[in-house]
Amino acid sequence: MSSPTPSISPPRPRLALVLGSGGVRSIAALGIADVLAREGLRPDLVVGCSSGAIFGATISMGLDSTDSLALATRLWSADLTQKKRWKSYAQLVAPRLMGFDANFSLRDACLIAHRIEQAFGERCLENLPTPLRVVTTDSMTGEGVVLRSGLVRDALRASIALPFIFPSVEIGGRRLSDGVVSNPLPVSVAQDAEAVIALGFRGSMPRRIDRPSRLMAQVSTAMINNLQQSQMRAAIASGQRVLNFELDIDRRIGLWQTSAMPRIFEAGRTAAQRRLGDIHALLDAADRRAA
């Protein structure tokens, strides 16, 4: 009787690219990936949250910089937020009468769902040229949920489903929403990688508080900024080899300001060029540790 074949663990990713939330600013990741490719360095794993998941998916597809930028422009545009749900305003005024519930949203997600489906079709996370892990949040518990398999389109819709703006997405019997709520810069999700390049952005605080929405923005932005900072500190304290990119990009750029995409892309390229020495040193240290 033959003995069972022992299971073989997959190799650890040598280099992971971790992309946090940041709206249109996250497109700087494409500039970083372009420089890495020119150096013969390609990530073995991409981890994305919110807009970082959208742009990370274009990197995982293995597209060149021109095609990635073109696809990203189609996927992230201001018109995606223009389709209002008029019923939502009635739900705010008369919540019980109009059926206010946990899936409330101010915007209709049909257009963004259509764009994502056009771009990724039936592709699955685990079958992309570079594996992609997408960070989402369980809408009912607040727990972070990492999607490693399944349809790319569903995972991306969930990861950008910002509460109040877009409705949550049901996957595997759970209602999932924007990953920014639980893990805005998910370096911990790449814990198995030998080395990590991380790109995240601190949100800008309102300049003045003169309406309820700005007070809410102030509180939520402070919480997300603090969570991101504590997660980075925890990753470094745990021994992860992380090179954190902090780009000099105007924080006042709007989340959906697509006109800024070309210069943000170039800012990513410039930052990566300047830190090529740090990138190679990071990988050399990881290789010595793995040897």
CA angle 203, 192, 197 (to 5 degrees): 40
Residue 109: what pLDDT?
Answer: 83
pLDDT tens string 181-218: 999 999 999 999 999 999 988 877 777 887 777 787 78
Helix (H, G, I), strand (E, B) or coil at 178: strand
Of 181, 9, 167, 187, the closest CA to residue 88 belongs to 167
Q: Distance between CA 213 and CA 225 in Å, rounded? A: 18
Q: Distance between CA 284 and CA 259 in Å, rounded? A: 38
Tokens of 43: 């990530």
Residue 110: what pLDDT?
Answer: 84
| pLDDT of 2 strictly over 70 | no
pLDDT tens string 253-270: 777 788 888 889 999 999
Q: Distance between CA 40 and CA 283 in Å, rounded? A: 13
pLDDT tens string 104-147: 777 878 888 999 999 999 999 999 999 999 999 999 999 999 99
Instruction: Name the residues annotated as catalytic.
Output: 50, 178
DSSP state letter for 94: S
Domain positions in the chain are 15-288
Q: How far apart are the first and last CA of the chain?
A: 37
**Spacing of C-alpha 188 from chain mean position:** 13
CB neighbours of 168 closer than 8 A, spacing ≥ 6?
A: 102, 103, 139, 158, 161, 175, 176, 177
Other Cβ atoms closer than 10 A to 48: 31
Q: What is the CATH number of domain 15-288?
A: 3.40.1090.10
